Each structure stands twice: as C-alpha cells, then as structure tokens.
Structure 1
Amino acid sequence: MTVFELDWHFFAAGIPAMVFAGISRGGFGGGVAFVGGAILALVVPPGAALGIILPLYMLVDVATMKAYWRKWDWPSAKGLIQGALPGIIFAVWVYTVVDADFVRLLIGCVCLAFVVFQFSRSLGWLKIGDAPFSQNFARGAGFVGGFTSFISHAGGPPATVYLLSQGLSKTTYQATMVVTFWAVNWMKVLPYAFLGVFTWDTLMGSLALAPFALLGGWIGVRAHDVVPERLFFGLTYVLLVLTGARLIWVALA
C-alpha cells in the first residue's frame, strides 16, 4: 500500500471530512457519512482511506449508541445485517482483483448516483411509498449495502432506500442505521486486516482524526432535533458532487 504523509493536505481534507461524517452518523442516519471516506480518498490512496475511516466510524457508533439504545426497528436491522455478510464476502473478492483507480471510480460513481437519487425523490420523479416488511427486501438491501460499505464505506444509501419504505420515525430510522452499521463495520475488520488495509500509517491517521470524528458525532446527536435536515443534506450533496466528480476525473485520467 502506498505510504502517505500526515501533512497539511491530509488534515485540510481529513478534518472537515470527519466532522461531517461524524455529524451524519451521530444525528442524520449516517446515509451520507461516506462523504468522509470520499474526501479522504482525494489525498491518500483509496485503500488507506478505508483503513483510516473504519476505526473512526466504529468509534463514533459506540459514542452515539447510548442516545439511540433500543429505539431501533430490530426486524429491519436484523434483515440488513444478515444480507450484509454475503455482500461483504463478494466485495472481498472484487477488492482483490481491481486496482486503486477502479475503487476511486466506484466511489465517485456512488457519490453522484446518491445525489441523483435524492434529487429525484425531492422533485417527485422517484417515489418510495410505504411497503410491508419483507425479510428478502431487507436482505437484498443489506447485500448491496455490505458490498458498497466494504468498498467505500457507502453502505448507507442502499439501507436508506429500504428503511424509507418502512415508514419509520426519524429517531427509529437513525437508531436502526446506527445498530446496523455498528454490526456491519465489525464484519469488515477481519477481511480488512487480511487484505493489508490496516497499516501503521492508517493507524496514525485514525488517531490524528479521532477527536474530530468524536466532535462530529457529539454535534450530530445534539443537532438531531434542532438542525433542519434540508440545510445539512444540501451542503453534504454539494460536497458529494464535487468529491465524486474529482474522484472520477482522477480515476479516468
């Protein structure tokens, strides 16, 4: 894995990335938390970004879990978690046969596709109505979520599509996302270790950014009921478009 430096480029990208990711995971469902990894992948190799981000997301999940304890919808969380395991296994195989530029391209496409999906919903072009609980639907969303989570920490969007169909309250939705990806992230630890994603450099990067991830999580929990979602997500979508476009450009160039 390419060595990177903890220089001003790293901190200029990493600090705002982790604050935004922490806010998303702590208070807004975590569906756009993958913006943190996408931004970081602009300044470090994609594999290194994965290794840096995972411990930080796990740290935020533990720090914010208490606020949402037992407020989740367990059947939905269980289905998503069960589906995520085979998705992660498939992602391990993909990761071993593609290069860094393909991973950048994939992350960039996920960023742009998620923004298009959200705008289509807001404009009424795409409607997700309430649907009865389906274990197969949950597992299918979990499979896609497990795959994208492993490759780019972007498991939130597929899970979001499923949970939106369940008509959950804002807090139940948030709690379900927290417990689901707490479990999914633990599933990724062993494969990441075997693939060499974790290194001394990624550990140092995680330690350097940990305070900012925790700060974001703390802000997110407190902002859950007071900050308009439109404001937070609007800014995040701008970041996703800029970051996704840049990653695609770098990958193709």
Structure 2
Amino acid sequence: MITDLWFYVAAVPAVFFYGMGKGGIGGILGMLSVPLMAMSVSPVQAAAILLPLLCGMDLMALFYHRENCNYTELKSMMPFAILGVVSAAYFMDSLPTQVVELIIGGLALVFLTQKFLLKQVQFSHPIKGYALSMLSGFSSTIAHAGGPPASMHLLPKNLPKEQLIGTSVAFFTVLNFIKLIPYSYMGQLDMQNLTTSLVLVPIAFLGVRTGVWMVNIISQDLIYKISYSVLFLTGTKMLYSGFTAF
C-alpha cells in the first residue's frame, strides 16, 4: 500500500469528485483525478489504482440507475467501444497521453461549436456515433477519459435525464470491467495498487452516494446545462494539457 501522505491529500478529493460524477453529476475534477494522483505516482500507476475504484463506483451507481438505461443506445455503442479498448491495449505502452488529450479536447470543442454556433449544420450519421463510441473506449483505456466522446454521442439525443445518466452509467460499467484485462496483462493490478484502491473505497462510495442524492433534486434542464458545461471545461482542459506537455 502507498504510505505517502501527499498522495492521499490529492487522491481523497480526486476520488470523491470522480464518485460524484459516477453518481450522475458531471464534474471537471473527475477528469483531473489521474493528473492529481500523478503528482506523487506515475500516471499509469494512478490510472491503475483508480480502475478498481471505478468498477466499484460503477456497480454502486448501476444499482441506483440500472432501470433507466436506454438499452437500444447501449447495444449500439458497446461493440465499437470494445474495439476502442482493444486498440488502446495495443498502443498503451507507446501512445503519449497528450496525443489522446489533444484529439479528445479538439473534438469536444468542435462538437460544442457545431451544437451552439452552427446549429444549421448538424451531422447525425450513424457512423458518427460508432466513431465516438470507439474513441470513448480508446481514451477511457489510455487515460480514463472516455466521458467527453460518450457525451458527444448521447447529449444530442436529448434523452430524459434519467436515461442519459442510466445509459452512461451502464456503458462505463461494462467498459471499466473490460479494461481490467489489459491493465492486468500490463501487471499494474499488483498488491500495492490494489490495497491502495481498497483504502480509498469508502471515499469512492461516499462520492457516488452524494452524486445520486444531488441528481434527485436537480432539474433535467440543469443536468443538461451541467453536462454541456463539463464537456466544455474538460475539452478545454485536455487541449491545454496536451499542448503544454509538448
């Protein structure tokens, strides 16, 4: 188990806010979890410590939101997301994280520009959804950053807030459990990382429960405003991180 105090100073808030996002409330701090934890451990180790926690948070969130999943959307997204995981597993040791951040951040801002500034130009071909699902699986495996591509696919469908959250929760539950395979193959799910994850489990569950509670008191309109705002913030942050890393 990691015993460095400064690791936990960063990891506790990172995991809590990631849990809130899993509970249904999007949050920019969830995207910062790996960078925050990487201040005291390597980015790959930070992602490996987070992965079992994500699986646990997903199961807890699924308990609350499982009945609201749009399974038609889930079935269309999942095969291509799995292709993304397989592709990422092949490139995981060689593709710089900043390249993934530049791709995702750029796409997120292009999507928002199209949505709000170029409303008359809308591209809704099924291929777009397949590509975004694959990118979500790919970027989720590399850096736990699959949220923006999945949001770009789901948000324009204007699903009821319960279906938007439920479908996203079910999608990432399946995806994160599949990601255990490449992370195990890389040897990152060792005893030190797993015991560190175990110590952070109560923080993760508290974050999820807080997120679920907040979803129940927030209107659908506000959920969508939060989702689009989070997409803008994460896209901007990822572009900034990608450019400054070079």
Whether the TM-score (by the shorter chain) exceeds 0.5 is yes
Q: Following the alignment from structure 2 to structure 1, what is the Cα–Cα distance between the partners of residues 136 and 207? A: 23
The CA deviation at 1:199 is 1.9
Q: Do the aligned residues in 2 keep the contact of 1:50 with 1:153 (CA within 8 Å)?
A: yes
Q: Following the alignment from structure 1 to structure 2, what is the Cα–Cα distance between the partners of residues 82 and 30? A: 27
Moved more, 198-207 or 78-87: 198-207
The answer to whether residue 193 in structure 2 is matched with residue 215 in structure 1 is: no
- Structure 2 counterpart of 1:183, one-letter code: V
Taking the TM superposition and a 5 Å limit, the aligned residue runs for 1:10-29 are 10-28=7-25
- Among 117, 120, 132, the residue aligned to 1:125: 117
State the percentage of identical aligned residues: 25
- Structure 1 counterpart of 2:70, one-letter code: D
The CA deviation at 1:22 is 0.4
1:144-184 residue CA offsets vs partner (Å, 9 max, x unmatched): 11100000111111111111122211110000001111111
The CA deviation at 1:203 is 1.1
Taking the TM superposition and a 5 Å limit, the aligned residue runs for 1:83-162 are 83-98=80-95, 102-103=96-97, 105-106=98-99, 109=102, 113=106, 116=109, 120=113, 124-125=116-117, 127=119, 131=124, 134=126, 136-162=127-153
Distance 1:114 1:216, change over 3 A: farther
Q: Do the aligned residues in 1 keep the contact of 2:26 with 2:226 (CA within 8 Å)?
A: no
1:76-122 residue CA offsets vs partner (Å, 9 max, x unmatched): 11111110111111111111324xxx22x246546854774687478
Distance 1:33 1:126, change over 3 A: farther
The answer to whether residue 40 in structure 2 is matched with residue 82 in structure 1 is: no
Aligned length: 241
- Structure 1 counterpart of 2:117, one-letter code: W
Q: Following the alignment from structure 1 to structure 2, what is the Cα–Cα distance between the partners of residues 162 and 174? A: 13
Aligned with 1:70: secondary structure? helix
Aligned with 2:157: secondary structure? coil
Per the normalisation by structure 2, the TM-score is: 0.82
Q: Do the aligned residues in 2 keep the contact of 1:130 with 1:164 (CA within 8 Å)?
A: no
Q: Following the alignment from structure 2 to structure 1, what is the Cα–Cα distance between the partners of residues 234 and 124? A: 31
- Structure 1 counterpart of 2:69, one-letter code: W
Aligned with 2:46: secondary structure? helix
Q: Following the alignment from structure 1 to structure 2, what is the Cα–Cα distance between the partners of residues 54 and 226? A: 29
Q: Following the alignment from structure 1 to structure 2, what is the Cα–Cα distance between the partners of residues 77 and 235? A: 22
Q: Do the aligned residues in 2 keep the contact of 1:38 with 1:107 (CA within 8 Å)?
A: no
1:21-61 residue CA offsets vs partner (Å, 9 max, x unmatched): 10011123689743322322333211101111111111111
Distance 1:165 1:93, change over 3 A: same
Q: Do the aligned residues in 2 keep the contact of 1:38 with 1:152 (CA within 8 Å)?
A: no
Q: Do the aligned residues in 1 keep the contact of 2:111 with 2:152 (CA within 8 Å)?
A: no
Q: Do the aligned residues in 2 keep the contact of 1:38 with 1:244 (CA within 8 Å)?
A: no
Q: Which runs of 5+ in 2 are unaligned?
A: none
* C-alpha RMSD of the superposition: 3.3
The aligned counterpart of 1:59 is: 56
Aligned with 1:44: secondary structure? coil
The answer to whether residue 194 in structure 2 is matched with residue 206 in structure 1 is: no
Distance 1:236 1:205, change over 3 A: farther
